[in-house]
Chains A and B, each alone.
Chain A
Amino acid sequence: MAELIGGIGTSHVPAVGAAIDNGRQAEPYWAPYFEKIQPARQWIADQKPDVCIVVFNDHASAFSLDLIPTFALGVASSFPPADEGYGPRQVPTALGHPELAWHLAESLILDEFDMTIVNQMPIDHGCTVPLSVAFDQPEAWPCRIIPLCVNVIQYPAPTGRRCYQLGRAIRRAIDSWTGDERVVIFGTGGMSHQLQGERAGLVNLEFDQAFIDRLINDPAGQAEVPHVEYLREAGSEGIELVMWLIMRGALDEAVRVVHRMHHVPTSNTSNGLLVLENG
């Protein structure tokens, strides 16, 4: 059967993608951040997963206000980088894994998670920046990608508990797949940040650290935290952190921390990265 080998939690800040695309990783502003993520890059290079499931949110790229799926699973054979308003990022087209993705869709829906199935989905920075964080600038992404898009822009996002349970259902689906793929799951977004309003620029390091502690040791407890606490404590865009709970739910109850880092700021965002292996 397929094996879930680990999970990565990471912010998906556009400016990080731009720094990579424009060769600015060694500049004083960026060097400390890229130094801190190096162990994660090493880990995934050593692990050589066949498939990465990337949980992220679309930012008005593939989906508009015309159609707002809460959970949308990409089953296509390829996912091109999106034009988000300033031309697509110059990164490889992600190749999908339609067989496994369709298995996930069928398994999850029969497990009572009503997924939206997507055949056409350009992927924006929410998905491509985590790939760049993990793989830097390859000619082609070194594994197949299954994008899982979560609505966190139109209130309300799915609850933390629902996200955590979806992660567990994803694990059941992976465990029941007869292929021998090695899978890594990404939960992306956050950490504390607020892009909008007079309160723009909010950062709450204490909240972020406590979130990661609890995600590791008491994910079911963290899953009970209500939206208003994220909005108030981690900023309006900090609600993206519920997507890390999907990643965590897919892992074993006991996990081993491979790498953990925090860096403030990347642009307007408190940037966290966490690499977990099944315990």
Chain B
Amino acid sequence: MSNPREYDDIPGTYVFDGTHSRNGYELNMFCMSLNGESNREAFRSDPDTYLDQWSLTADQRRAVVERDWLAMLQLGGNIYYTFKLAAFDGLSMQDVGGSMSGVTTEEFAAMMIAGGRPADGNRFESEWTGAQGGDSDG
């Protein structure tokens, strides 16, 4: 358990605090191992055996295998770590941003060119209507 935080009411945001860090240690350290070229080769040639080196939970392992970028965050991943897996796949931050917010890369890039996601309506859970402004998830 952990104490309530003043940032808990920011929607669609996973602040990488101690709780996330504890939950995500193995997941993030797996991702960081991909900084090494020989590790990238090993992961490429035999992903299952490579993943066995880290004590991932079943959910974390599923998120990695399925490249579920949002689930990785929810399970303790930090974006700078999980992005190393995305880069391994040849993805850009806009691919991952689109995936996490439920739109295509093209839609996400167009939103950025139009000035990004506005702060208005996106500051508090109480005013949040979802990443596309239509549903009540998040």
Contacts and interface: CB of A to CB of B under 8 A. Distances in A.
| Chain A partners chain B | yes
Interface of A: 14-15, 59-61, 64-66, 82-87, 153-156, 192, 194-207, 227-228, 231-233, 235-237, 264-265, 267-268, 270
Given A65-B28, A197-B73, A231-B10, A82 B115 contact: no
Contact of A265 (B35, B80, B116, B122): B116
Given A231-B7, A268-B97, A198 B137 contact: yes
B35 A82 contact: yes
Given A60-B28, A267-B112, A196 B102 contact: no
Nearest to B18: A155
Interface residues of B, number: 56
A60 B32 contact: yes
B122 A199 contact: yes
Given A64-B32, A228-B6, A201 B16 contact: no
Nearest to A236: B13
B30 to A, nearest CB: 11
Interface centre among B15, B108, B113 (most CB of A within 10 A): B15
Contacts of A231: 7, 10, 13, 15
Contacts of B130: 198
Given A199-B12, A201-B111, A268-B97, 12 more contacts: A153-B16, A153-B80, A155-B17, A196-B100, A198-B70, A199-B122, A202-B118, A204-B119, A236-B13, A236-B14, A265-B116, A268-B93
A64 B35 CA distance: 11
Nearest to A203: B116
